[in-house]
Structure 1
Amino acid sequence: MRYLILASILGSTAVPALAQEVNVYSHRQPELIQPLIDAFTAETGIPVNIAFVDKGMVERLQAEGDRSPADLVLTVDVARLGELKDAGVLQAVKDEALDVIPERLRDDQNQWFGLTTRARIVYASKERVADGEVTTYEDLADPKWKGRICTRSFTNDYNVALTAAYLAHHGEEETLSWLEGLKSNLAKRPEGGDRDQVKSIWAGECDISLGNTYYMGAMLKDDEQKQWADAVRIVFPTFEDGGTHVNVSGMGMTASAPNRDAALQLMEFLVSDEAQRIYAETNNEFPVKDGVEASELVASWGEFTPDDLPLTEISDLRPQALDLIERVNFDG
């Protein structure tokens, strides 16, 4: 099996297309999906080549055009999936095996499909935040949180998606007010990633933060970061008229797909019970397929009701959400 790791887009070499193989461009590090690839190849005999494309995946696929060796893309967040679709570098795939993915977690034109989900939750200090003190996303704009909230940049894809979901539930005027209220409650200027916010809670710089669930799993595996994780608990807020906001890691078939049949076999495998279990457990996420249980660690974080808002609607509202975030100069 060959792996081509692309640290950057410029100056990299294309993966040569061979007969009966699958070439994947991935936003995720190859080691995070290697267990899946090994299982697929063991079952089918089809080799899979992974190119790690951290940035510029859309631009690369556009530049390669019909000559692209890529068959599939694997990425995180509905924003990136939406960008790939909007750029015209994906193709529609209609396959009965993929119908096991809930409609709200896949593109309404079958150009991308969710594989695992993660919730956008609140990390709360065990010492300074009482049980039941955090309830809804709307509540985060309440003045009671003034000087108590940390967050990464709100122009980050994860927070843009959350804002787009808020916009879908409440409309522009209320979303603008919510952003202003949330900004006024910040303990410090947005910076770093989700784990950095948990570190700030541990250090006493704030009491709650927004984050994705899977970061808890990542922190618990790190000797230094475990103490940050031990200082917080996961809280699943909801929208007042809905559930907890979720996002996806997902896949799509490229418009060129020189190995379409083999690529389709991989897509079908990725929604099998075995692959769903492996992928979700490896990445500390939730399977999208009904009947496949989350890992013991992920299940220990508690039960929640996912918001039923279709991710395609969230994707469509991304530009408007980003405009509102910039209008209030959230990160300023």
Structure 2
Amino acid sequence: IAEEGSNSPADVFFAQDPGSLGAVDPQLEELPEDILERVDERYRDAESRWVGTSGRTRVLVYSTEAVDESALPDSVLDLTRPEWADRVGIAPTNASFQAFVTGMRLELGDDETRAWLEGLKKNGAKTYEKNTPIVEAVAAGEIDVGLVNHYYLALVKKEQPDAPIANHLFAAGDVGNLVSVAGAGLLSSTDQLSDAEAFVEFLLSDVGQRFYVDEAEEAEYPLVAAVASPQGLVPLDEIEGPDVELTSFGAELEATVELLRETGWLS
């Protein structure tokens, strides 16, 4: 869409993370207030160009056989300690991990984020292409813990009901508890603006939001207050993560990727 610019045939950009939405926000039309107001301001663009449609929190998936719950870290920063050497899995090429690193940069600064990334490297953290293989590796005993989005546990449990795995949230306020969103925006180049608005409006309708509770395999969080979280999940309003603006993620993505290169996680 960025390459197509004003020639894009698309009407709506529906993306998995705020970094992707922010990368094309100059091409997005301002959304109507009646659409925006269905979602808490934390989960929409500060300039009204996109709105979150579902939420996900970062978690530490862990092996219930290899790790006692009492030994789990209070902070994601603790994963660089010696006791976690060769036991951690991450997916540095994945957009969700990159969004998490962006959140860390915004909350803690580049120097502390760089030190953490270098510490993970020194501690022998293992890399995977994406989230599902991390959870599967934990289930198989290949690693003991991994940084993923919360819903991948349910996806793996569906295929392996007896897998000895569970999710762990870090202590309240920890940068490891980032809550991010998938979201949608209207392209300024659309010639079907009313239909495009109707599509985004449906995504945020009670019916559209209940999809994440009743049908979606991923069990993401609905963002409309009238629709309760999927059963078994910590309610979204009880998760205390970093105080960062998701609006900033698009502009920061390039710097995050560069930092991952400099610390040896990307080539």
Superposition TM-score, scaled by structure 1 size: 0.72
Preserved contact between residue 71 and residue 258 of structure 1 (Cα < 8 Å): yes
Moved more, 283-292 or 117-126: 283-292
Quote the residue 2:99 is aligned against: 161
Q: Distance in 1 between matches of 2:125 and 2:245?
A: 32
Question: Which of 23, 42, 46 is equivalent to 1:83?
Answer: 23
Preserved contact between residue 143 and residue 181 of structure 1 (Cα < 8 Å): no
Question: Is 1:94 aligned with 2:29?
Answer: no
Q: Are the structure 2 counterparts of residues 184 and 331 from structure 1 closer, same or farther at C-alpha, using a change threshold of 3 Å?
A: farther
Residue-by-residue CA offset, 1:254-296 (whole Å, 9 max, x unaligned): 1122111122122222222222111454141001122320122
Quote the residue 1:20 is aligned against: none
Q: Offset at 1:237?
A: 2.0
Q: Distance in 1 between matches of 2:253 and 2:120?
A: 19
Aligned-residue identity in percent: 29
Q: How many residues are paired up?
A: 264
Superposition TM-score, scaled by structure 2 size: 0.88
Report the RMSD for the aligned CA atoms in angstroms: 2.5
Q: Offset at 1:175?
A: 1.0
Superposed, 1:210-229 pairs within 5 Å as 210-222=147-159, 225-227=160-162
Question: Which of 202, 205, 209 is equivalent to 2:146?
Answer: 209
Q: Are the structure 2 counterparts of residues 252 and 275 from structure 1 closer, same or farther at C-alpha, using a change threshold of 3 Å?
A: same
Question: Is 1:315 aligned with 2:265?
Answer: no
Quote the residue 1:304 is aligned against: 239
Q: Are the structure 2 counterparts of residues 331 and 205 from structure 1 closer, same or farther at C-alpha, using a change threshold of 3 Å?
A: farther
SS for the counterpart of 2:239 is coil
Question: Is 1:286 aligned with 2:224?
Answer: no
Could you tell me which runs of 5 or more consecutive residues in structure 2 were left unpaired when the two chains were aligned: none
Q: Are the structure 2 counterparts of residues 331 and 208 from structure 1 closer, same or farther at C-alpha, using a change threshold of 3 Å?
A: farther
Read off the aligned partner of 1:186 and give its amino acid letter: G
Q: Offset at 1:308?
A: 3.6
Q: Offset at 1:214?
A: 1.6
Q: Offset at 1:240?
A: 5.5
Superposed, 1:1-332 pairs within 5 Å as 57-59=1-3, 61-62=4-5, 65-66=6-7, 68-85=8-25, 88-132=26-70, 133-152=72-91, 154-188=92-126, 190-222=127-159, 225-227=160-162, 230-238=163-171, 244-281=177-214, 282=216, 283-298=218-233, 304-331=239-266
Residue-by-residue CA offset, 1:164-189 (whole Å, 9 max, x unaligned): 1111111111111111112222353x
Could you tell me which runs of 5 or more consecutive residues in structure 1 were left unpaired when the two chains were aligned: 1-56
Q: Distance in 1 between matches of 2:172 and 2:109?
A: 13
SS for the counterpart of 2:186 is strand
Q: Are the structure 2 counterparts of residues 226 and 155 from structure 1 closer, same or farther at C-alpha, using a change threshold of 3 Å?
A: same
Q: Distance in 2 between matches of 1:148 and 1:218?
A: 22
Q: Are the structure 2 counterparts of residues 314 and 69 from structure 1 closer, same or farther at C-alpha, using a change threshold of 3 Å?
A: closer
Q: Offset at 1:145?
A: 0.7
Q: Distance in 2 between matches of 1:106 and 1:240?
A: 20
